[in-house]
Structures are given as structure tokens and as C-alpha cells.
Amino acid sequence: MENDTVDNDSAIEAFFSPDNSKLAVEGFKTGYVAIVGRPNVGKSTLMNHLLGQKLSITSRKPQTTRHRIHGILSNDEMQAVFVDTPGIHRNEVRAINERMNKAAVSALVDVDLVLFVVDSDQWRDDDLLVLQKLGDTNLNVVLVINKADTLKDKGSVLPLMETFNDSFDFADIVPVSALKNQNLDRLQEVIASHLPVAAPIYDTEQITDRSERFLASEIIREKIMRSAGDEVPYDLTVQIDGFKDEAAHTDPKTGRPRKACTFIDATIYVERSGQKAIVIGDKGQRIKQVGMDARKDMEQLFDKKIMLTLWVKVKRGWSDDERALTSLGY
């Protein structure tokens, strides 16, 4: 009887373990990897291309990423849980900037490895600020020189790597082009070499620990920033008001079959009435296009039909209001 109890307990434990097949792989590695750097060096693009799927939003505007986002890369050798962070910057003009910096710095707690991303041809004061933050830790840091494909003289990357290596004791230095998927296989090998041997934390089919509600709000914000970023750079945020899944069914009125669908209602908050007009656009054309583009990305990411409804409202001073930031998820 006692042996039967032990066997049952073992079976139950194995059943609830994340992807048991990985546990049998000798030397499998797992760990958290923070992706840090100043704004607009391609941190989110790097994570998206490492994952092979768009998860973190991108735009040409600095500080597009406002939250810590976990992306999960699993293969036969490792599970790397990437922590995409807001860009660390000096000018904490408003409360939201201060919270973004705190979110980025706090990502350095309890990670196994740091990817410090820099631009191949631009070294700025904010890069030094990030390096100073890393110097206060005992973490292994891999320098990722992004946009290496833009260097006119490819040979110049070697002295650039030596210059960086003289400034900090990096565990490795890897030049890449995140946008063009260049040298990312090498970067994955380097990441795996620095992670501890451990069982996977998440199911290997999972790509993020963020909810669909959060991802939906980020997709909408990205489409607005890409469409009206220069006119409404940071003064907007998105709140999901409703997120309802409807199973496939027969319409009781028409008798016609209806496919499964998710109904999403979202409010876009801006700080001034003039910005509201910009987001809506002439005769509502901009907000209509934002909705179409966002819905398309959501259907691809969530793999289901989406019905999206958008409203635009003015919430004055939200980006410098601590209570408003908390209520909006910052």
C-alpha cells in the first residue's frame, strides 16, 4: 500500500511538471535573461526575433516599451526567459519616466544573465548610465552590438569590440543585426553557455507570461504610435475595458452558424483634446485604420477571430499622476 502511494505521488508530480520530456534532457539549461540598454537601440526587436514571433511592440520612437515583458524561448537545449525592459534614460521628466526607469533597473534583480544592447555606431551618455547600473551588480553581462549591418566598414566592428571590452568586463561580446536576423544563432549559443542547468520554468509551448488583455492593449498602442507618433509621442495609453470570448454557436435569430470570436473593447486615453482629434483623424480615418491593423495583429497572435471596438478619451495629466498611473497598470 505504501509503495502504491509513493507511485501515485510520483505520477501526480510528473503530470503537473512543465513539459516532462525536457526534464529527461541531460544538461538542459534554464534562466532569466534581462535585455537592457538606453531607449531606441532595438531591445524589443531583438527579443521578437530571438523568439521568432512579435511579442513586444516596436516603433521608431524612443521609450516605446513601458513595461517589463517576459518572452519565453524554448528549444532542445535551453529555456531562456527574456525580460524586455523600458530604455534607461537620465531625464525623468514625469512620473511615468521615473516608473519606466524603476521597471528597467528592477529587472536586474534575480536574473541569471544580462544582454546589454548598444547601437553599433552611436555611443551616448545614456549608454554610460546603463553601464554604471550594471557595474553595481555581480551579474554576467553579454554586450550585444546591434545594427552591425549598418556599419559601412565591416572591419571596424573588431576595434569597436575591443574598445567596449576595455570599458567593462563583459562575459561575451556579440555583434548582431536583430532586424535582419544576423548572428542570432551565435547569440543563442552564448546565452545558453551562461545559463544554469535546471528544469524549464514554463511549458515549452508558452511564449509569454503576459495576459492576452495586456498584449491587446500594447498592440493598439503600437499602431497609434506608428500612425501618429510624432504628433502624440508619449501622451497616450490604452485600457482594455472588455475582453469576452464567445464560443461558436448558431445565431438564434437567423439560424446561421457563427464562428468563435473574442470581443475586445478598449479606451485610448490622451492628455489634451487636440491629441484626441489627431488620434481620431479626419472623418475618423486614422482610428479606423488603427483598429483594422490592431485587429489583424491580434488575430495572428491569438489565433482567433477578433471584434475590436475603440474609444478615445481625454484624461488630463495621466502621465504625471501617480494614482492614474497605478490604475492604468504602470
Place of cell 566592428: 157
For the chain, the straight-line distance linking the first and the last C-alpha, in angstroms and rounded, comes to 53
149 is in an annotated binding site: yes
Single out the residue of 70, 37, 66 nearest to residue 208, CA to CA: 70
86 marked as part of a ligand binding site: yes
Q: How many residues does the chain have?
A: 330
- Of the candidates 308, 285, 132, the one whose C-alpha atom is nearest the C-alpha of residue 220 is 308
Closest CA to 81 of 174, 209, 176: 209
262 annotated as belonging to a binding site for a ligand: no
Q: Who's near 244: CB < 8 A, 6+ residues apart?
A: 262, 263
Per the CB < 8 A criterion, the answer to whether 121 and 154 are in contact is: no
Mapped onto helix, strand or coil, the DSSP state of residue 237 is: strand
153 is in an annotated binding site: no
Annotated binding residue at 147? yes
Q: Do the annotations mark residue 25 as ligand-binding?
A: no
Alpha helices in the chain (DSSP H): 2-16, 20-23, 43-51, 95-106, 125-135, 157-167, 184-194, 212-228, 273-280, 285-302, 322-327
Q: Is the Cβ–Cβ distance between 274 and 227 less than 8 Å?
A: no
Q: Does residue 163 have a known ligand-binding role?
A: no
Which residue, 255, 249, 237, 246, is CA-closest to 306? 246
Please check if 216 is assigned to a binding site.
no
The answer on whether 274 is annotated among ligand-binding residues is no
Q: Is 38 annotated as a binding residue?
A: yes
Is residue 27 annotated as involved in ligand binding? no
Angle 284-289-291 from CA coordinates, rounded to 5°: 95
What is residue 283's DSSP assignment?
G
3-state secondary structure of 296: helix
Set of cell numbers at residue 168: 567593462
Q: According to the annotation, is 39 in a ligand binding site? A: yes
Q: Consult the annotation and say whether 37 binds a ligand.
A: yes
In angstroms, the Cα distances linking 287 to 89, 242, 265, 284, 310 are 31, 18, 14, 6, 8
Residue 148 marked as a ligand binder:
yes
**Binding-site residues for GTP, please?**
37-44, 84-88, 146-149
**Binding-site residues, please?**
37-44, 84-88, 146-149
